Amino acid sequence: MLPHSVLVALLAGITVQIAKGKDDHLVSSDYLSSNLHKRHWDDQGNYNITFIHVNDVHAHLDQYRASGTDCPTDGSVPCLGGYARIMDKTREIRSQVQDSLLFNAGDEFQGTLFYSFYGPQKIAETLNLMNFTLGTLGNHEFDTGNDTLLGEYLSNLTFPTISTNIKTENTLLRSQLKPYHLFPKHELAVVALTTVDTPDISKPGKGTTFGKVLEVQKTVDQLLKKGGVKRVVALTHIGYDQDIELAKNSRNIHLIIGGHSHTPLGGESWYSQGPYPTIVRNLDGEEVFIVTSYRWGEHLGRIDVAFEKDSGKVHAYTGGAIRMTEDFPQDKSLQKLITSWREPFEEFAKVIVGQTVRDLDQPTCQVKECNLGNAVTDSMLYGRRSLGAKVDAALHNSGGLRATIPAPNITQGILMTSFPFNTQLVDIKYTGKELWEIFEGVCSGVNSVGKTVTSSVQVAGIKYSWNPKNAPGSKLISLQIGSPEVEDVDFEKTYTIVTLDFLATGGDSILPRPFEKSPPPIASQDEVFIEYIRRFSPLDVDVEGRIVVTDEETPEHELGQLYWRENTEVDAEEVTLKQSLKSIWESWWRGSIKFAKWE
């Protein structure tokens, strides 16, 4: 028997495009040709299935430039992804193997005008044409705040949708969403998980709840106990780090196909954040294989698995993340259909609002100050002050910045892609001490009431420094407020902050004590930004030290030191346990996450 940690040689025909593993993961392709290509049982008694998967496509039905915005028609910029390209490659793969399953790990909603203009209609039509076998829900499927509409969307799909940890009182949604799916032919059960953060980052309806991830073990045990199931796969939308934690703390799940964190895996990409598959050991010391396929359909995941006959463990595998470049042909019929859907909004999308001297860059916004974040928060602050409002600073979640705005022309279509959520500006008052508390939570990854903060922030009228090496609760070193001149925050003074209604009501858990109902909306964020672009075009925005990493270990002024002393006296171990395991901040400063130079 082959050691479980080997990687079977790459399939013929995809050796160039599949991400290459480490040398110790390579074995002879003779085993592959004589075993993994065979139907069901091979001559060593192993059961063979090919899993193909996508996640977090975010309405990128058509091909796009690497920044996520529309691909130019003149061929001046390389294009990626698009379901026509994915369809052609998927059809090729499925024709080469005896048994294959095509999975969708959620977050089809939000991201381009295909969703903003049509809602979920064209997404459903495309997914049905793709012949998906099974899907699960991401958090963005709940963005409408109407679970009945989500149920209607699911009712229009020709494949089942599952989530083991979602419980809902909505009759239609409950009828369309099942806790697991069985493939009797393969003696295979698939369970599914949707991130427990969904209520904090989206808008599920009342009566819809998200259970703890590890409670899925009860369902797995029940499925194996009642018979007819020898193999269990988890289809998840919880994020790569949470997939790893699930694998380590469970039994009898030997393959996890994930999404949510937009994590690129595989050695082909220099910005890869881990191997494809990532292998960890579960509570019984058995290997669990974790795969995910980045975002927007840029990667198509494929893993060919040979399961052991009786245990359900993975005996051998091959696979990788296939980057959907222009080297791959498109399905002509699907591409023609998608192109026709563009016509109603194409003229609107092409309208030029203004110009920018340089790209307003998105990929680094979650880990540090970015010029896209500076431009957007500057517009929020300017927009309020231009109307005479006495506003001290602006605060925006980095997760709400969805795509780079490339130079030079800023079009309405690009803006809709970059800001798809229709958020509204609101003013909120906080004391200086409350602001310190908020920014400490952002730096630590856990807010003052113990909830995981799921996004970093971008700011205007604020400068702060932090030390990522300090313990949670003591990472913030300095906080200054003011524009154009900043001064140390006064803990007793009350400040007015312009932010988003999404954050005001608890989104991303950035504000530890959110409003049950949002304060009165002032203006649409995208409209304010458009007016700012028109006023100051061409934009010339760069990073300028609003967010700084420091080696200082204690706050620079007396009130900050007092807050620091109070918080370092609490149980640091308890705070650490609550800290987000998927904190991208920590990983980036350790240098374990790299980012691509997109264009």
Rounded to the nearest integer, the mean pLDDT of the chain is 85
Tell me, letter by letter, the H, E, C secondary structure of 465-501: EECCCCCCCCCEEEEEECCCCCEECCCCCEEEEEEEH
H runs (alpha helix) in 35-184: 83-96, 113-118, 121-130, 147-155, 171-176
**What CA–CA distance (Å, rounded) separates 71 from 342?**
12
Is the pLDDT score of 450 beyond 50? yes
pLDDT at 521: 77
139 to each of 236, 451, 518, how far by Cα in Å? Answer: 11, 17, 20
Q: Is 198 helix (H, G, I), strand (E, B) or coil?
A: helix
Q: How far is CA 334 from CA 70, 126, 365, 566, 568, in A?
A: 17, 8, 34, 60, 58
Ordered by where they begin, the domains of the chain are 47-92+102-305+321-338 (3.60.21.10), 351-590 (3.90.780.10)
Secondary structure (3-state) at 7 = strand
Closest by Cα among 18, 128, 111, 125 to 58:
111
Q: Give the mean pLDDT of 517-527.
A: 81
Q: Is 34 in a helix, a strand, or coil?
A: helix
Residue 488 makes CB contacts below 8 A (sequence gap 6+) with 478, 479, 480, 556, 557, 560
| pLDDT of 8 higher than 90 | no
Q: How far, in Å, CA of 459 to CA of 393, rounded?
A: 7
- The stretch 167-195 carries a mean pLDDT of 97
Give pLDDT, residue 103: 98
What CA–CA distance (Å, rounded) separates 327 from 252? Answer: 39
Is residue 481 pLDDT above 80, yes or no?
A: yes
pLDDT exceeds cutoff 90 at 410? yes
**Cα–Cα distance, 371 to 368 (Å, whole number):** 10
- CA dist 516 and 504 (Å) reads 9
Q: Is the peptide bond before 277 cis (omega within 30 degrees of 0)?
A: yes
Q: How far apart are CA 304 and CA 21, in angstroms?
A: 15
Contact 3, 305 (CB under 8 A): no
For the residues 515-543, what does the mean pLDDT come to? 89
Check residue 566 and give its pLDDT: 60
Interatomic CA distance for residues 368 and 35, integer angstroms: 48
Residue 69 pLDDT grade (very low, low, confident, very high; cuts 50, 70, 90): confident
Residues 240, 108, 582: CA angle, nearest 5 degrees? 20
Both structure tokens of 97 = 């193997």
Q: What is the pLDDT of residue 31?
A: 32
Tell me the CB-side half-sphere exposure of residue 293, using CA atoms within 13 A.
33
Strands (E), 238-298: 255-258, 278-281, 287-292
